[in-house]
Amino acid sequence: MPAAPDKLFALRGQTLSFRSDPFRTPPDAAVSHNQDGLVVIGGGKIVDVGPAQEVLPRYPGIEVESHSDAIIMAGFVDCHVHYPQLPVIASYGEQLLEWLNKYTFPAESKFGDYAHARATAETFLDVSIENGITTSSVYCTTHPESVDAFFEAAHARGMCMAAGKVMMDRNGPESLCDTAETGYRDSKALIERWHGQGRLTYTVTPRFAPTSTSAQLEAAGALWREFPTTLMQTHISESIYEIEWVKELYPEAPDYLGVYETYGLIGRGANFGHAIHLTEREIARLTETGSGISHCPTSNTFIGSGLFDMQALRDCDNPIRVGMATDVGGGSSMSMFSTIKSSYEICQLQGYSLHPAKAFYLATLGSAEVLRMEDRIGNLAPGYDADIIVIDLKSKPLIDYRMRFVYDLWEALFIQMILADERAIRATFVGGKKLHQRASA
């Protein structure tokens, strides 16, 4: 471990980075894999990456941290998650709308208490780092205190995080509802306070169409136009019951996406969570506008919402940007390994096999593309922020045994997809600083 993050040091082990999108390029051509690789880090950035025997001579005397039986790659990027719902992860027996009323809203109502929000944010970030998640797109609550608490905790760690105050002015408890005016005013104040501070990005966050009036969605659209370097996140087409509700609330709209289009909440930097039950028109518009989707596999199965069609939306002639997301607390795990395993299983149920290259791409650079950050996070390449994880390829006895029979990189990564958990994250670096090291590593 280097004494200071701006001092050059190196990680040595297998290295994995992306040359191109494996949905568009054969997997072997899409990645760069060095069996004995070296990553040089300095000033919070990746300085150099390549075969160790080529890179080492360029940095005589450099401090080297070796990781045998491990893959060094970019940290995971969680494209959609609710940190205030961490206290209700693994709650029993409801589908989406009932789940919101029974578990989500009561939990979120407590986040006007800054101390509670800060304690939850600290736990959320600790667990994220332990799971190798170095960036997330985060829903806070309607309380400005929940945003302050989250950004303060993330900023103290030097993390690249996107987050925003939820805007909802109807169909929720009084303790959570704002108004179109206060939602705009509070969000604007938070943007001015936090957007661009350190590695933080503000995200305009109308919860979803059923909990916002037309006036509030208009205010959200105005806010995003006023601050175009912010992001926008919301939910779409998670369940068939939700879609029917949207039709009742917005009968003039052509479909669910049409509601957001009316108010300018679409385009590059727009991040739509779930997107399970899309119409042909919605798919075309998402593609044309460069909007993104967050795929939330453990949430979709746990709450019983439906099966995301990866092949139709991503592995096709006109793909939509798609990122991988835990969606905790509807999602049942903070582990990105569990998340991509669930995605693989959902694809299998639809006759499509999700290749490991594609799964890991979605969990890193794919998510970064949805968040309009693909030029600085999500890849192990010179010039990128040094958000890096070290994956132990033999983290538990069964994996150790199974790895004896591996014949190539992709089988090794697939085994991690299916069998690994947080114990596989040997170390997590954020901006070149080691924030996590497994005790037994």
Asked if pLDDT for residue 269 goes beyond 80, the answer is yes
Cβ burial of 156 (10 Å; 0-12, 13-18, 19+) is exposed
pTM: 0.96
CATH 2.30.40.10 fits 9-75+379-437, yes or no: yes
The separation between CA 141 and the C-alpha centre of its own chain, rounded to angstroms, equals: 18
What pLDDT was estimated at residue 1?
A: 40
What pLDDT was estimated at residue 88?
A: 87
Asked if pLDDT for residue 252 goes beyond 50, the answer is yes
Taking only the tens place, the pLDDT of each residue in 294-349 is: 999 999 998 899 999 999 999 999 999 999 999 998 889 999 999 999 999 999 99
The closest alpha carbon to 189, from 159, 157, 149, 147, belongs to 147
- The domains spanning 9-75+379-437 and 76-370 adopt the same CATH topology: no
Domain boundaries along the sequence of the chain? 9-75+379-437, 76-370
SS3 425: strand
Mean pLDDT for 167-172 is 96
What pLDDT was estimated at residue 440?
A: 66
Asked if pLDDT for residue 2 goes beyond 60, the answer is no
What are the distances in angstroms from CA 315 to CA 10, 272, 286, 312, 354? 36, 18, 15, 6, 9
Taking only the tens place, the pLDDT of each residue in 9-59 is: 999 999 999 999 999 999 999 999 999 999 999 999 999 999 999 999 999
What pLDDT was estimated at residue 253?
A: 97
Asked if pLDDT for residue 441 goes beyond 60, the answer is no
**Which stretch of 21-25, 34-38, 96-100, 260-264 has the lowest confidence by average pLDDT?**
96-100
Asked if pLDDT for residue 4 goes beyond 80, the answer is no
Asked if pLDDT for residue 5 goes beyond 60, the answer is no
What are the distances in angstroms from CA 257 to CA 209, 250, 280, 371? 9, 11, 11, 19
Q: What percent of the chain has pLDDT over 70?
A: 98
CATH tag, 76-370:
3.20.20.140
What is the distance between the alpha carbons of residues 407 and 35, in angstroms, rounded to a whole number?
13
SS3 79: strand
Q: What percent of the chain has pLDDT over 90?
A: 91
CB atoms within 10 A of CB 255: 19
The closest alpha carbon to 309, from 354, 367, 341, 365, belongs to 354
Instruction: Return the CA Rg of the chain.
Output: 21
